[in-house]
Amino acid sequence: MPDIRPAMGSGALVLNATYEPLCVVSVRRAAILVLTAKAVCVADGDGVLHSAFDALPVPSVVRLTRFVRVPYRTHVGLSRRAIFARDGWRCAYCRGPAETIDHVFPRSRGGRHAWENVVAACARCNHTKGDKTPAEMGWRLHAMPTTPKGTAWRVLGHRAPDPRWADWLDLRENELTTTPVAEAA
């Protein structure tokens, strides 16, 4: 195995032979795919990886040389990090930095633990709201919580996208870039 230090970069995007984005792997794993001719590099990252026999640019995007059939995960797992990522790490009520997860309709009153009923919230709003609904508090949600959709979410999950991957992932179809929903004018 080549001596590839894993500290390089965050990861590499893997495309199917058809250029369809599949997943993100470590740079080391992507380099091994290239060295073993299972993939070709289509976009370089920063720096060069050295092996005993070779040197190759750090791969940022690789494309598999043979098509693989992949069963799709149709829904995004409801994890704490995924909720923060969807909501841009901002509180759904005051737009301050989010530290907690709030159930919009409180769990204590039968609110579901589902994408449509969870939002990122700061500790203060969460504590103040307690087991009330936003309507009872006279608060407005910044945006209606929904299930994240699209290729980018399927491939990246809560991972921050590398700008070099933009050509292959439609990053504008959701708020992955953590840009808050446009403030109402």
| Calpha distance 22→116 (Å, rounded) | 26
Q: Which is nearer to Zn ion, 57 or 134 (CB)?
A: 134
Number of residues located near Zn ion, criterion CB under 5 A: 6
Q: Which is nearer to Zn ion, 111 or 134 (CB)?
A: 134
- Binding to Zn ion by residue 43, rule CB under 5 A? no
Sheet holding 12-15, edge to edge: 21-25, 12-15, 55-64, 39-50
Q: Is 128 exposed, middle or buried (0-12, 13-18, 19+ CB in 10 A)?
A: middle
Distances in whole angstroms, Cα of residue 96 to Cα of each of 4, 106, 126, 158: 41, 21, 12, 20
112-151 residues near Zn ion, rule: CB under 5 A: 122, 125
Q: Which is nearer to Zn ion, 5 or 140 (CB)?
A: 140
At closest approach, how far in Å is the CB of 83 from Zn ion?
A: 14
| Strand partners for 22 | none
Q: Which is nearer to Zn ion, 25 or 91 (CB)?
A: 91
- Binding to Zn ion by residue 92, rule CB under 5 A? no
Contact region with Zn ion (CB under 5 A), list: 71-79, 83-91, 139-147, 172-180: 83-91
Q: What is the DSSP letter of 67?
A: -
At position 135, the amino acid (one-letter code) is A
At closest approach, how far in Å is the CB of 20 from Zn ion?
A: 39
| CA geometry: angle 35, 37, 43, nearest 5 deg | 75
- Binding to Zn ion by residue 91, rule CB under 5 A? yes
Give the one residue of 23, 42, 94, 101 binding Zn ion; rule: CB under 5 A.
94
Residues that bind Zn ion in the complex, under the rule CB under 5 A: 91, 93-94, 96, 122, 125
